[in-house]
Amino acid sequence: MSHAHPELGPPPELAANALRIIPLGGLGDIGRNMTVFEHAGRLLIVDCGVLFPEDAQPGVDLILPDFDHIRDRLDEVEAIVLTHAHEDHIGAVPYLLRERQDIPVYGSRLTLALLESKLREHRIKGTTVEVKEGDVSQAGPFSLEYVAVNHSIPDALAVFIATPAGTVLHTGDFKMDQLPLDGRITDLRAFARLGERGVDVFLTDSTNAEVAGFVASERDIEPALDRVFNNASGRIVVASFASHIHRIQQIIDIAQRHNRKVAFFGRSMVRNMAVARELDYLTATDELLVTPEQLSQLPDDQVVLVCTGSQGEPMAALSRIANNDHQIKVGPGDTVVLASSLIPGNENAVSRVINGLTRLGAKVVHKGNAMVHVSGHAAAGELLYCYNIVKPRNVMPVHGEPRHLKANAELALATGVPAERIMLTLDGGVIDLVDGKATVVGAVPCGYVYVDGASVGDLTESSLKDRRVLGTEGFITCFVVIDSVDRKVVAGPEIQARGFVEDDAVFDDVIPKIKQSVEDALRNGTTDQFALQQLVRRQLGRWVNDQHRRRPMIVPVVVEV
C-alpha cells in the first residue's frame, strides 16, 4: 500500500496519457471533502465541503479545503460535481465560487436546491446543472455518469468519470439500505455494469470500514422513536442534522400518529425543511406544522420541536436550550432526543449539552441508550460486497480518518486487490493513473483554511495557539517605564493578569526582580526596547512557571521617557 509522506516532493509534470487525482480534503478528517481530477490540462472537482471546528480551534466558524493548489488554474476548471447536499460536501462551494463565479456546478435536484439557498445567503449567482441517476454529461475531457446511491439524505449520487487516460468510480457517501424510506436503493446493478466496463480507480467511502457487517435500515429506528413518543408526558424535542430529511419525515409521521404538532427551530433547519417541502422530498400538512409563536397556545403533550444542535454546536438551538438561553424552556416531563451520530471531536460538546438538559430535569434519549440513529455510511460487509462486484484495478479509500482509510484498504486487500494498487494517502497526496496503474507521485501543500467571522484564511495556527493559551493559561501584562539616559526604571513594573489569579498582589515578589534585571541591562548598555521586553518576558515567565506551574501569555510593554 502506498502512503503520502511529508518528505514527498512536488509531483512531476503530468504526462499526456495520465489522469491525476489530488485529494484536497476528506482524507484524514470526517469533513472538508474535495477531490481534484486533472487530464489534458483541464480540471474537474468532486465535492467542496467544510469541516466543523473542534475545541482546540476556538473562535473558528468553519474550516475550508486549501484552494491554493488550483487558485492559479481556476480558468481550467470544467465543473464542480456534488455527490450530495451534506455540509461536508457542499459547504465550501460559495467560497470557491467567490474566486470564479461561473464554474458550472452539477448535482441532483435536492442538492442544487439546498446549495442555491446557501449561495443566495452569500449573494452569489452560480451556474447550476441538474442531473439525475442514469444521466451522462460531458465536462471537457471528462465524461460523467451518475449512479443512484442511498445515504442519510435524499438524491445522493455516485459519479463514474471516464477519460482517455482511464476511469474512476467515486461512491460519494453511501450505504446499502435495502428498504429505504424513499424506495431509492444504491444501484448495485450499475456498479456491476461499470465494473464490467472497467474501473481503473475506485474511490470508496471509508467512514464505517471498521464496523463489521451491514448498517441497519433507517426503518429500524421507528420502533424506538415510537416508544419515546408513547412514554413522553410533556414536550418532545428532537435534535437532528438539518439535512437528514428522511429522519425528520419519520418524526413528522410519528408525531401525526400521536396527535402532536411539529415546529422547526434553527435557521438551517427551517431553511432546509422549506426547500424539502417545496420539492416534495418532505411531506407534512399545513395543519400539522406550527410556528414557534403558536407553541404557547398548545399543551405540552401536543407538541414536537425539531431543532439543530445534535453535535453540541455552541450557537445552535439545542445548546442554547441546554444553557437555558432560548425561548424554549425544558424541564421535568420533557424528553429530548439526539437523533444523530456523534462526529469524532464533538464528544465533549455533546456531553455538555446532555448534562445541561439533564440538570434542567429533561429526559435525554440518544444513540447510547436507545436505537434512535442508524449510520448513513456503508459498513465493512457492504464495502466487501462492492469490491467484489466492481472488481477495480486500483483502490483509493476516501472520506475518513487515517484509521478508517486503513481499515478500508485492508478490506480491498482481502478481496484480492494487490497491495501495490491500494493508494492509502492523505490530503495533498498526488496519484497518477498511467496505463491502468495508479501510483503516488508526490504531494502538494494542503493545510486548513479557517473561516473566522468575515475573515477567510487570515487566521493562522500561531493565532490559534495564542487563543488556546488565553483560554487555558490566562494573560499577563507587565508595563515598565525606563529612562535610558539615567539607566533606571522610573515607573513600574506594573503587572495585571486576566484568567490567571484573582489578586494581582501575588506578583509582589517578582516585581523587584524584574526591576533589578531591567536596570542591570540598562547599566550594561542595553537600551533597545524589544530586547528589554524579551528580558521582562523571560524573567516573569520563569517565575510564573516555577511558582504556579502555568504558562500564560505574557505581554511585556517597555516605554522610554
User: For 348-386, how does the pLDDT look when each residue is reduced to its tens digit (9 = 90+)?
Assistant: 777 888 888 888 888 888 877 777 788 889 999 999 999
Q: Are 35 and 65 in contact (CB under 8 A)?
A: no
Band of residue 35 on the pLDDT scale cut at 50, 70, 90: very high
State the Cα torsion 417-145-157-268 to the nearest 10°: 130
The C-alpha cell at 295 is 407553541
User: Smallest Cα–Cα separation from 389: which of 202, 192, 150, 147?
Assistant: 192
Residue 422's pLDDT is 95
Give the side-chain half-sphere CA count within 13 A for 298. Answer: 22
Q: What is the mean pLDDT of residues 69-91?
A: 93
> Percent of the chain at pLDDT above 70?
89
Q: What is the mean pLDDT of residues 39-49?
A: 95
pLDDT at 175 over 80: yes
Q: What does the chain come to in residues? A: 561
* Domains defined along the chain, listed by start: 18-213+375-452 (3.60.15.10), 218-365 (3.40.50.10710), 462-560 (3.10.20.580)
Band of residue 532 on the pLDDT scale cut at 50, 70, 90: confident
State the Cα torsion 343-349-354-357 to the nearest 10°: -130
pLDDT at 24 over 80: yes
Q: What is the distance between the alpha carbons of residues 243 and 296, in angstroms, rounded to a whole number?
A: 27
**Strand 394-398 relative to strand 429-434: parallel, antiparallel, unpaired?**
unpaired
Lowest mean pLDDT among 121-125, 150-154, 252-256, 337-341: 337-341
Q: Are 32 and 156 in contact (CB under 8 A)?
A: no
Q: What is the mean pLDDT of residues 314-332?
A: 79
